[in-house]
Amino acid sequence: MTQEKHAHIVGICGTAMASLAGLLRETGWRVTGSDANAYPPMSTQLQELGIGVMKGYDPAHLDPAPDLVVIGNVCRRDNPEAAAAERAPDLASRSHRLSLAAHAARR
């Protein structure tokens, strides 16, 4: 039996990131995410999908290490969580555009 893949989205509460979270969830991924602000309608959508949102940006959100980290456009280079994901040798990190393209290619 294969283990469920885990994707973590930094900046998950934006429209594009929440939609990507839903797509990943729909295809069998376990999805978590973090954001500075979580409010409707995106917070409601994520909650209905069973996707938890961690408050703020903290490198500790990447422990245990997910299989994939998607970094949203809202994140600047000095975002501590995004920077930690980029530095981690064992984490695959992608921009949301790259993740959407990869997801579309698998369908």
Low-confidence ranges of the chain (pLDDT < 50): 105
pLDDT at position 104: 52
pLDDT at 4: 87
Question: Can you tell me which residue has the tokens 């938890």?
Answer: 52
In whole angstroms, give the CA distance from residue 101 to residue 52: 24
pLDDT at 92 (0 to 100): 62
Looking at the chain, which runs of residues are DSSP E strands? Answer: 6-10, 30-35, 52-55, 68-71, 92-95
Task: Please indicate, yes or no, whether the overall pTM of this predicted structure exceeds 0.75.
Answer: yes
